[in-house]
Structure 1
Amino acid sequence: MTKQTFSEHVIDVIQERRTIKKFKADSIPVDTIKELLDVAVWAPNHKMREPWRFLLFAGEGRKKLAEAIAADVGKDNKFESGILHNPIQLLVVLEEDPRQAVWDEDFAAVSALVQNFMLAAWSKGIGTFWVTKPFLYSPKFREPLGIQPGEKVIGMIYAGYPEVIPEPRPRTSAADKLTLFDK
């Protein structure tokens, strides 16, 4: 049996990824986003429930998202120009389960999927910004987009080629938050 070798590139991607808030106007091919989602779905998920679905807004489709936001927060809102400027917006939706333990497992799985997507995107030079806002809960926002009762929008992800990449912000060492039981 040969010795298995493992790449440390994932460590680099995790530590180098940044939240991007300013994107170039350049479009991203929808097929690229589909490829990134196909990587993201490898997130761990209990009993392979795959409790997610996606709404992708690209090109002229971004207007539909801007209209749904305006239906809740009103016209001339601060999100509309961002939606129309940023190349891609992706809503990640959780199919909610009424059993609390299953809901918790599914929420964790969908959150892991979002992280996978963001890391895969970064590895291809695409920046992301994971947004959660109150309008994601509003029926006025949800209904025009076909988001059903019993579904939770985990977040809206802006994606595009970075115009500005911020400097890293320091992290607290895990050792400072670790309680070790070794005896």
Structure 2
Amino acid sequence: MSIAKTIRERRSIKTGYKSEAVSKEVVVELLNDAVWAPNHGLREPWRFIFVPTENKETFIEQLILTYPKDIRENRRNYFSQPAAFLMVVMKEDPRQKQWEEDFAATSALIQNFQLLAWERGLGVVWKTNPHNWEPKARQLMNVQPGEKIVGFLHLGYFDPNEVPDGRPRTPVEEKLTIM
């Protein structure tokens, strides 16, 4: 498959995950390619937290305790859909320029991961849920002060016949300025 075709056909898979486990080996393999994202000075500002399928239920039960009681069941149902989770955490540089470079690099890594996963039939949706900033959730995930959760990725295999339709993009010509 061409890179352009993969970019255009990749979708965020939010529901309809199969029960098939997502293995550590697959995630490590994908990450070992994804880390080739451009990153200024090769600072490699990222680290990863993986919750494999076999640990998911225990993690969910701990994570929902960080939510108000009245929405815990809703969150349990929501988090039970994916087969696994991958958190991408970035070390926050106090210098604005470096912070922005590191955030861009980490975002590029996540896009690489999504494209590589798509190629393997592994669905991903990149989430930035409120718990990414919740101190109790951050403590559960061992996210330290000076670190940012850039992506809380939901992972799971999916039926290729159930892929959501793509939504149109604005033609670049409408957003392009020639100087």
**Aligned counterpart for 1:166 among listed residues 164, 167, 170:** 164
- 1:140 matched to which residue of 2? 136
Pairwise CA distance, 1:12:
0.8
State which structure, 1 or 2, has the greater radius of gyration over its C-alpha atoms. 1
What percent of counterpart residues are identical? Answer: 42
In the alignment, residue 10 of structure 2 is paired with which amino acid?
A: R
Pairwise CA distance, 1:63:
3.0
Contact 1:72–1:140 (Cα < 8 Å) also in 2: yes
1:15 aligns with 2:13: no
Contact 1:21–1:129 (Cα < 8 Å) also in 2: yes
**Aligned counterpart for 1:65 among listed residues 52, 59, 67:** 59
Q: Structure 1, unaligned stretches of length 5 or more?
A: 1-7
Distance 2:42 2:90 in 1: 14
1:54 aligns with 2:52: no
Contact 2:23–2:53 (Cα < 8 Å) also in 1: no
**Aligned counterpart for 1:177 among listed residues 172, 175, 178:** 175
Q: CA RMSD in A?
A: 1.5
Contact 1:68–1:145 (Cα < 8 Å) also in 2: no
Q: TM-score, normalised by structure 1?
A: 0.89
Distance 1:127 1:42 in 2: 21
In the alignment, residue 133 of structure 1 is paired with which amino acid?
A: N
Contact 2:63–2:140 (Cα < 8 Å) also in 1: no
Pair 11,129 (structure 1): closer, same or farther in 2 beyond 3 Å: same
Distance 2:172 2:73 in 1: 39
Distance 2:53 2:121 in 1: 20
Distance 1:90 1:165 in 2: 21
Contact 1:94–1:107 (Cα < 8 Å) also in 2: yes
Q: TM-score, normalised by structure 2?
A: 0.91
- 1:31 matched to which residue of 2? 25
Pairwise CA distance, 1:68:
4.1
In the alignment, residue 138 of structure 1 is paired with which amino acid?
A: E
Partner secondary structure for residue 143 of structure 1:
helix
- 1:95 matched to which residue of 2? 91
Distance 1:60 1:104 in 2: 35
Q: Structure 2, unaligned stretches of length 5 or more?
A: none
Distance 2:10 2:123 in 1: 8
Contact 1:127–1:162 (Cα < 8 Å) also in 2: yes
Contact 1:90–1:156 (Cα < 8 Å) also in 2: yes
Contact 2:22–2:53 (Cα < 8 Å) also in 1: no
Pairwise CA distance, 1:64:
4.3
